[in-house]
Amino acid sequence: MSGTSLSLADRFKAVRDHSIVLVAGLSDADATVQSMDDASPAKWHLAHTSWFFETFLLRGHDESYRAFNPEYGYLFNSYYEAEGARHARPQRGLLTRPNLAEILDYRGHVDAAMLAAMDRFSAEQCDLLELGLHHEQQHQELLQADILHLFSCNPLGPALRPTKAEQTAEMPLEWVKGKSGIQEIGCDGSGFSFDCEGPRHPQMLHPHALASRPVNNFEWQQFIADGGYSDPQYWLSDGWTWVQNERIVGPLYWRDRDGQMEQFGFAGWQEIDPHAPVRNISLYEADAYASWADAKLPTEAEWEVAAQNGLPNAGDVWEWTGSAYRPYPGFKTAEGAVGEYNGKFMSGQFVLKGNSSITSPGHSRPSYRNFFYPHQRWQFTGLRLAKDI
């Protein structure tokens, strides 16, 4: 096996093993239930990431490979139209069978075949393998956020990791002047990137500054106390409709318990850490807070250029930008099913930058473009203020 293949093999095993670590302690029921349409069961994440390797790297490329179960292609395809019909996303929680043990067997079957075939992979297949590893890291973060949402629906407030949360040190908020004029953004070709991160291209930036850290829980409590959720002047029209229809009064996973504000996390219900970045907020909430604070959300380009030049990133929350998730100049989707990976979602969503406390190690860079719909907030999403100068 070549040095390149050996490196990929080691990385493959490390990424695949990390997914198993994340579900340690889950019961079969924990791994099966789907708490909402946006979430997926833990065992579905484990199976889908295996399906990805099976479909794009083993099936049709390795004549000796035999599918673990031919029906799994229908069950665990996510959104790849080119791969045919699939089980409806809102009904993934109905898949009581296969059980978690069978899914783990499926993963073992795929892993063994991948490791046996890897030394014969072409350069194109190695690129697909690299994509598959980053794809699995994305699902590792989704899996954790989905489990947290599931556990939050339980009145017992079970802890996934029963440890006492540490209090975050207070950090002053300072304004960091950003670069202006014509600046370059997008992947620079120095390492892996998703197709939506390129091509690299110039952007015109006007004079501006960014906050030195994300907005924290104490500051968000001030927004609430000042009537931020009940005053329409701060809200986008769609956001105000959302607040009213959904009766939103604070971030997801916040509650007032006998006058004490608590937040649900992996350690269960805990007293809110005032200096930790506020998380689990929507784009609508982030934009309303920025309006209340007489500031704005940074553009994607402002954030990225600042990150290229040393903007401090606490790494606790993905940070909403005010930029729509749209293609860069010259963007083209790849041929075949993998071309459906990012481009087809460039409508109605907004870009988030950075990473979060549940992002897999090494899975972030300044050019990374995370994206969600403006009402979604079950992911670890927060905000950093910006202002024009």
| Per-residue pLDDT tens over the stretch 255-285 | 999 989 999 999 999 999 999 999 999 999 9
Asked whether the predicted pLDDT for residue 225 surpasses 90, the reply is yes
| Average pLDDT for the chain | 95
> What would the pLDDT profile of 356-366 be if each residue is shown by its tens digit?
999 999 999 99
Q: What is the pLDDT of residue 163?
A: 78
In the structure, what pLDDT confidence band is assigned to residue 314 with cuts at 50, 70 and 90?
confident
Same-domain status, 222 and 112: no
Asked whether the predicted pLDDT for residue 313 surpasses 80, the reply is no
Q: Which of 91, 121, 152 corresponds to the end of one domain?
A: 152
Q: What is the pLDDT of residue 312?
A: 82
Same-domain status, 244 and 296: yes
Angstrom distance (rounded) from CA 253 to CA 258: 16
Same-domain status, 231 and 88: no
Same-domain status, 368 and 277: yes
Same-domain status, 141 and 196: no
Q: Which two tokens stand for residue 223?
A: 């927004």
Q: Which two tokens stand for residue 369?
A: 């473009």
Q: What is the pLDDT of residue 315?
A: 79
Asked whether the predicted pLDDT for residue 113 surpasses 50, the reply is yes
Q: Which of 117, 137, 152 corresponds to the end of one domain?
A: 152
Does any domain span residue 100? yes
Are 264 and 148 in contact, with CB atoms under 8 Å apart?
yes
Across the range 171-178, mean pLDDT stands at 96
Any idea what DSSP says for residue 228?
T
Across the range 164-191, mean pLDDT stands at 93
Does any domain span residue 291? yes
CATH code of the domain in which 247 resides? 3.90.1580.10
* 201 phi, psi to nearest 5 deg: -160, 160
Q: Structural domain tally of the chain?
A: 2
Asked whether the predicted pLDDT for residue 158 surpasses 50, the reply is yes
* 125 phi, psi to nearest 5 deg: -65, -35
Does any domain span residue 19? yes
Structural domain harbouring 60: 3-152
Same-domain status, 368 and 282: yes
Residue type, 169: A
Does any domain span residue 206? yes
Does any domain span residue 32? yes
Angstrom distance (rounded) from CA 321 to CA 140: 23
Does any domain span residue 170? no
Same-domain status, 12 and 124: yes
Look at 17-21, 120-124, 199-203, 250-254 and tell me which has the smallest mean pLDDT. 120-124
Same-domain status, 275 and 241: yes
* pTM confidence score: 0.95
Asked whether the predicted pLDDT for residue 320 surpasses 60, the reply is yes
Same-domain status, 182 and 107: no
Tell me whether residue 90 is exposed, middle or buried, using C-beta atoms within 10 angstroms of its C-beta: 0 to 12, 13 to 18, 19 or more.
Answer: exposed
Q: Which of 98, 119, 152 corresponds to the end of one domain?
A: 152
Q: What is the pLDDT of residue 5?
A: 45
In the structure, what pLDDT confidence band is assigned to residue 220 with cuts at 50, 70 and 90?
very high
Are 195 and 343 in contact, with CB atoms under 8 Å apart?
yes
Across the range 37-43, mean pLDDT stands at 98
Angstrom distance (rounded) from CA 216 to CA 260: 17
Does any domain span residue 250? yes
Same-domain status, 221 and 316: yes
In the structure, what pLDDT confidence band is assigned to residue 162 with cuts at 50, 70 and 90?
confident
Q: Which residue has the tokens 């403006």?
A: 374
Same-domain status, 93 and 205: no
Does any domain span residue 90? yes
Q: What is the pLDDT of residue 59?
A: 92
The helix (run of H) or strand (run of E) holding residue 356 is none
Cβ atoms within 10 Å of 47's Cβ, excluding its own: 27
Same-domain status, 181 and 290: yes
